[in-house]
Amino acid sequence: MDKLIQDFSYGLFIWQVLVFVLLIFLLRKFAWKPILEAVNEREESIEGALKAAEKAREEMKSLQADNEAVLREAREERERILKEARDMKNKMISEAKDAAATEADKAIISAKAAIEAEKTAAIAELKNQAASLSIDVAEKILGQELSAENKQTAMIGKIIEDVKFN
Amino acid sequence: MRANATVFFAFVGVLFFTPVAHVQAENVEKPQQEQAHHEDVHNGDTHDEASGEKDIKGIIKETIQHHLADSYEFHVTDGIGFPLPVILVDRGLKVFMSSAFHHGSIAEVDGNFYKEHHGKIYKTDALGTLSYDHNHHPTNDKPLDFSITKNVFVILVMAIFMFFLFRGVAKTYQTGLAPKKAGRFLEPIVIYVRDEIAIPNIGEKHYKKYMSYLLTVFFFIWFLNLVGMTPLGVNVTGNIAITFSLALMTFIITQVSGKKDYWRHIFWMPGVPVLIRPALAVIELIGLVVKPFSLMIRLYANMLAGHVVLMSIIGLIFIFESWIAAPAFLGLTVVLSLLELLVAALQAYIFTMLTALYFGSAVEEHAHH
């Protein structure tokens, strides 16, 4: 220990402190700062690139999801339109059917009415004819056959039979 | 950058093999040097020397001590090295090259005489007389010494090297965010310091302002530890002045950034009985100093011990002088060098890690009590 202190070279110590402090400041300005900054910059750029890639992947994923959603929407839209069309068709058919049925009913009804009217007219005609026939018959009976009783009866019966068939 | 690295490794390679080439030259030079050494240094020296012949253990011990200590010249091995400037403050600035001290000679500047003795410079007279106290320490005056010693030189070179290396790395980011060249290797370490040392210990909120210090400390210690493993014979991080300055900076930054909670936990610990609080304050205050002190000693002792062990094992080769011992100890040296490579990085990591931990405790905010 005594020898250590004896041999301690203050000249070397002072030179070392001077040179070393100077070296620290010179290296800080010309070496450590640029080197550490470059290293930092590179690390940041690598990190940035990795993050950008990650982001791009995320975006791609969301884009894909978007695409899918759009596609699904389109498909739904198509389905909807088709359904609407089908519904409309069915509706039109049923409407047409209804209309036709109504028309037919109307026609039948009117036909029935016409038939009824004809029938009524025919019956009225028949009645008129029957009345005029009866008058004719009565005229004939009254005019011709009123002399012989048997003939009269036969005649009446014949007439009535005719009337019946009429 | 690649060309630079190639040149560097070629240089290191040359250094590895030069000792072999200089062994012969050494044999020729030695006698003269030895003599010079004897005449100049011997009077106060207590080295084990028997009739002018140093024993091998003494040489090894001296070599290791010489290697561990700082010096006024950059000396790699015999014949290889260069002098460094000596800067003294002694009634004015005195600057001269350390070659003036060669072979124990006396340096004269403006009529003042200086002499190096055991790694320290003393003021002396024209004859170089040194007077000693009973502990064989010279009692001569010591001028204020701000010399560019070997360690200062290595620090300066390392600071310049680190500046250009990391500025170069920083520049490559201007052309794109990917690391290039040396940045490919260094950037993961920078990120490691940030993600594994700074953020877990200091927290996301405050860590940024300490990054410069942590990174500089980490690379400074690590690189200097590695330089210490080259055969240049450099031992900077195993020098107590260096580790003391680093620990002191950690200490100062910790105290300066200490928040209210930090000081309250030191002086008036919440959540314990009031009577115990003053005792805890004393303990905490001791801890305040012990923490950076442990940083200083840990790095110093680890690096110093590594150097001593490696050099001792190499020295054993010369003590045993046998064809079995040489390869065995060489292999052991290689294995221990690998361990030291790990220790070099580990000590830098531990120092930075604990520094971050202390900063973290200073800025920590306790949400509930």
Q: How far is B139 from chain A (nearest CA, A)?
A: 13
**Single residue among B147, B167, B182 that ends a domain in this structure:** B147
Are residues B211 and B121 part of one domain?
no
Contacts of B173 in chain A (CB under 8 A): 34-35, 38
Amino acid at B321: E
pLDDT at A47 over 90: yes
For chain A, say whether B180 makes contact (Cβ under 8 Å). Answer: no
What does the DSSP assignment read for A111-146? HHHHHHHHHHHHHHHHHHHHHHHHHHHHHHHHHTSS
**Single residue among B147, B164, B193 that ends a domain in this structure:** B147
Taking CB atoms within 8 Å and a gap of at least 24, the contacts of B23-27 are B25/B78, B25/B79, B26/B78, B26/B79
Close Cβ partners of A41 (under 8 Å, ≥ 6 residues apart): B177
pLDDT in tens, A56-105: 999 999 999 999 999 999 999 999 999 999 999 999 999 999 999 999 99
Are residues B236 and B122 part of one domain?
no
Domain assignment of residue B368, yes or no: no
Strands ordered across the beta sheet of B85-89: B93-97, B85-89, B144-145
Are residues B137 and B12 part of one domain?
no
Contact B43, B129 (CB under 8 A): no
Residue B301: the pLDDT is: 92
Residue B203: the pLDDT is: 87
Name the token pair of B331. Answer: 């292999």
Residue A165: the pLDDT is: 61
Are residues B278 and B181 part of one domain?
yes
**Residue that wins the pLDDT comparison between A166 and A152:** A152
Domain assignment of residue B78, yes or no: no
Domain assignment of residue B55, yes or no: yes
Close Cβ partners of B224 (under 8 Å, ≥ 6 residues apart): B154, B155, B158, B234, B236, B237, B242
Total of domains in chain B: 3
Contact B344, B225 (CB under 8 A): yes
Q: Tell me how far apart the alpha carbons of residues B114 and B90 are, in angstroms, rounded to a whole number.
A: 11
Residue B50: the pLDDT is: 44
Domain assignment of residue B120, yes or no: yes
Contacts of B163 in chain A (CB under 8 A): 23, 26-27, 30-31
Are residues B158 and B42 part of one domain?
no
Name the token pair of A148. Answer: 């012989």
Residue A91: the pLDDT is: 94
Report phi then psi at B85, rounded to 5: -70, 140
Reading chain B (369 residues) residue by residue, the pLDDT tens digits are 445 555 455 444 444 444 433 333 333 333 444 444 444 433 434 444 444 446 888 888 888 888 888 888 787 777 788 888 888 887 777 778 877 777 667 777 777 778 777 777 877 777 777 777 777 777 777 788 888 888 899 999 999 999 999 999 988 888 877 788 888 899 999 999 999 999 999 988 888 889 999 999 999 999 999 998 888 878 888 888 999 999 999 999 999 988 888 888 888 878 888 888 888 888 889 999 999 999 999 999 999 999 899 888 888 888 887 888 888 888 999 999 999 999 999 999 999 999 999 999 888 877 654
Report phi then psi at B121, rounded to 5: -100, 130
Are residues B50 and B11 part of one domain?
no
Residue B229: the pLDDT is: 87
pTM: 0.71
Domain assignment of residue B357, yes or no: yes
Residue B155 sits at the vertex; the CA angle it makes with B299 and B309, to the nearest 5 degrees, is: 40
pLDDT in tens, A122-142: 888 888 888 888 888 777 766
Close Cβ partners of B358 (under 8 Å, ≥ 6 residues apart): B250, B254, B291, B292
Under an 8 A CB cutoff, do B152 and A32 touch?
no
Classify strands B112-117 and B120-124 as parallel, antiparallel or unpaired: antiparallel
- Domain interval for residue B211: 2-19+151-363
Are residues B196 and B155 part of one domain?
yes
Residue A135: the pLDDT is: 83
Report phi then psi at B49, rounded to 5: -130, 125
Report phi then psi at A124, rounded to 5: -60, -45
Domain assignment of residue B79, yes or no: no
Contacts of B213 in chain A (CB under 8 A): 24
Q: Which of A21, A26, A45 sits opposite B163 (nearest CB)?
A: A26
Are residues B291 and B277 part of one domain?
yes
Under an 8 A CB cutoff, do B149 and A20 touch?
no
CA-CA distances (angstroms) from residue B246 to A86, B251, B280, B343? 94, 9, 27, 18
Strands ordered across the beta sheet of B120-124: B107-109, B112-117, B120-124
Contacts of B146 in chain A (CB under 8 A): 11, 14-15
Nearest CA in chain A to B163: A27
Q: How far is A51 from chain B (nearest CA, A)?
A: 19
Are residues B281 and B229 part of one domain?
yes
Q: How far is A43 from chain B (nearest CA, A)?
A: 9
For the question of an ipTM over 0.85, the answer is: no
**Single residue among B147, B166, B198 that ends a domain in this structure:** B147
What percent of chain B is helix, strand and coil (3-state, nearest 5)?
65, 10, 25
Under an 8 A CB cutoff, do B155 and A8 touch?
no
Q: Tell me how far apart the alpha carbons of residues B119 and B151 are, in angstroms, rounded to a whole number.
A: 13
A/B interface, count of CB pairs below 8 Å: 123
Are residues B127 and B168 part of one domain?
no
Smallest CA-to-CA distance from B79 within B151, B16, B10, B29 is with B29
pLDDT at A49 over 80: yes
- Chain B interface, mutation test: which of A16, A24, A26, most B Cβ atoms within 10 Å? A16
For chain A, say whether B147 makes contact (Cβ under 8 Å). Answer: yes
For chain A, say whether B177 makes contact (Cβ under 8 Å). Answer: yes
Domain assignment of residue B163, yes or no: yes
Residue B27: the pLDDT is: 39
Are residues B167 and B112 part of one domain?
no
Are residues B300 and B196 part of one domain?
yes
For chain A, say whether B166 makes contact (Cβ under 8 Å). Answer: yes
Domain assignment of residue B74, yes or no: no
